[in-house]
Amino acid sequence: MKTLEEIKKDIESCYSDATVTVEGTSLVVPKERWLEVAKFLRTHPEYSLDYLSSVTGVDYKEYLEVVYHLYSIEKKEGPLAVKVRTDRQKGLVPSVTPFWRSAEFQEREAYDLVGIHFEGHPDLRRILMWDEFQYHPMRKDYVQEDQDRPEKEF
Amino acid sequence: MGTATNISQIDEGLRSELQKKGIFVSSLEDLYNWGRRSSIWPLQFGLACCAIEMIATACARYDIDRFGAGLFRPSPRQADLMIVAGTVTKKMAPQVVRLYNQMAEPKYCITMGACSISGGPFKDGYNVLKGIDRYIPVDVHLPGCPPRPEALLHGLMKLQQKIDSQEIEKTAWYQKGLKREFPVPEFGPNGLNPPYNPEVFTPEQHREITVG
């Protein structure tokens, strides 16, 4: 597989105004350009990353992040880790479900537990917690209920 | 749990003398409890890895059927014993309580494994109930992570001892006006509502632990 620097150059030659950065072992893509970059990585014959193995939501206190792990079954290559960042208040990231159907449930999980909203998701609702649950338990500032609280505080 | 207190009134020496002559003397209560404890039908459901040990207990090597508890029923209406085998998540807890409510009296409950006793290793998890004894009365607490099949058999034998010690005249389900229906918790905005049933559970007083 190509190195991250080469992938970065390939993306930027296709989309001149996209500012992709390499951080450690992953690519960081701005969320405004993520749909285009995803389509490029999915369809370009040199990459054809046709398998999305995981979508992970992370809370970094200052911002939220979505980590995608991409593989190519066709070329037997991967993984390529792509990170997309968004703000904490209204964490909005475009959904990649149209490109990889496996993203549907995983994006619901990231929405449920971290509170990242995926724009264009066909059915964005809670997947693990119950519908009446009001918080996002994997956020750093989530406070658990006290199951042992006295009866008068019910 | 106390040991068996319900001992037959018949003199042991007389009984053994009669037995030599081929006459078996017993009290109705003994016979009744012998029948009950020898066919405890468990409810067939498992919640997590403890269920694998429960299945192993039901299989040929350990064979829980030797103790009369081998007929796992798929319906709570036909079951006498609920083995809560595994982690009870907050999302699953209402269904477990409802199943217990649907069982016919007399009914018993064994909590199998650390999770269903107290939450176990997931005690601090946001999605795990800290023990099913918050909502329903438990007869035998069976520790282990998971308990081995021998331990489940031991727990079953403890339950049989408890059944043996019960007296027909005093047991709760033959009294008039008994209503053993335990409220099913509802999903709240940040956990189950209520977090426990005060009639069956009292939380332990919070203790500050100081180190050094």
Cβ–Cβ gap A137/B203 under 8 Å: no
Pick the CATH number of A4-138 from 3.30.460.80, 3.30.70.270, 3.40.50.2300, 1.25.40.10: 3.30.460.80
Q: How many helices (H) and strands (E) does chain A have?
A: 3, 7
Cα gap B163→B153, rounded to integer Å:
15
What percentage of residues in chain A have a pLDDT greater than 70? 100
User: What Å distances lie between residue B56 and B51, B65, B68, B72, B147, CA to CA?
Assistant: 8, 12, 16, 13, 11
Q: Which of A128, A131, A145 sits opposite B191 (nearest CB)?
A: A145
Matching residue, tokens 């409890």: B33
Q: Where are the domains of chain A?
A: 4-138
Question: Do the interacting molecules here have an ipTM over 0.85?
Answer: no
Percent of chain A with pLDDT over 90: 69
Q: Look up residue B172 and give its amino acid.
A: A
Residue A139: in which H helix or E strand, if any? Answer: none
Mean pLDDT, range B78-82, rounded to an integer: 94
Contact (Cβ atoms closer than 8 angstroms) between residue B200 and residue B182: yes
ω into B203 cis (within 30 of 0)? no
pTM of the model as a whole:
0.86
Most confident range (mean pLDDT) of A10-24, A140-154, B30-44, B175-189 is: B30-44
B57 within domain boundaries: yes
Q: pLDDT class for B170, splitting at 50, 70, 90?
A: confident
What is the residue-averaged pLDDT of chain A?
91
Pairing of strands A117-119, A92-94: parallel
Q: Contacts of residue B195 in chain A, CB cutoff 8 Å?
A: 145-149, 154
Residue B160 lies in a domain: yes
Q: Which helix (H) or strand (E) holds A37?
A: helix A34-43
Contact of B74 with chain A, judged by CB distance below 8 Å, is answered with no
What percent of chain B lies above the pLDDT cut of 90? Answer: 67
Tokens of B102: 């649907």
B209 within some domain: no
Q: What is the CATH number of the domain that holds B77?
A: 3.40.50.12280
Give how far A132 is from chain B: nearest CA, Å. Answer: 6
Percent of chain B with pLDDT strictly greater than 70: 94
Chain B, nearest residue to A127 by Cα: B91
CB contact under 8 A, A154 and B193: yes
| Helix or strand run (H / E) with residue A22 | strand A21-23
Environment class of A55 (CB within 10 Å of its CB; exposed 0-12, middle 13-18, buried 19+): buried
| Number of domains composing chain B | 1
Task: Specify if B146 maps to a domain.
Answer: yes
Cα–Cα distance for residue pair A3/A32, rounded to 1 Å: 24
**B114-156: per-residue pLDDT in tens?**
999 999 999 999 999 999 999 999 999 999 999 999 999 999 9
Please check whether residue B33 lies inside any domain of the structure. no
B80 located within any domain? yes
Pull the structure tokens for residue B208: 């500050």
Instruction: Judge whether A92 is closer than 8 Å to chain B, CB to CB.
Output: no
Which residues form the domain of B127? 40-168
| Residue position matching structure tokens 């207990």 | B57
What does the pLDDT average to over B161-175?
A: 85
pLDDT at A130: 94
Q: For residue A142, which residues of chain B lie inside 8 Å, CB to CB?
A: 126
Q: Is the peptide bond before B74 cis (omega within 30 degrees of 0)?
A: no
- Give the pLDDT confidence of B190-207 residue by residue, as tens digits: 999 999 999 999 887 766
Given B126, B195, B198, which is nearest A137 (Cβ)?
B126
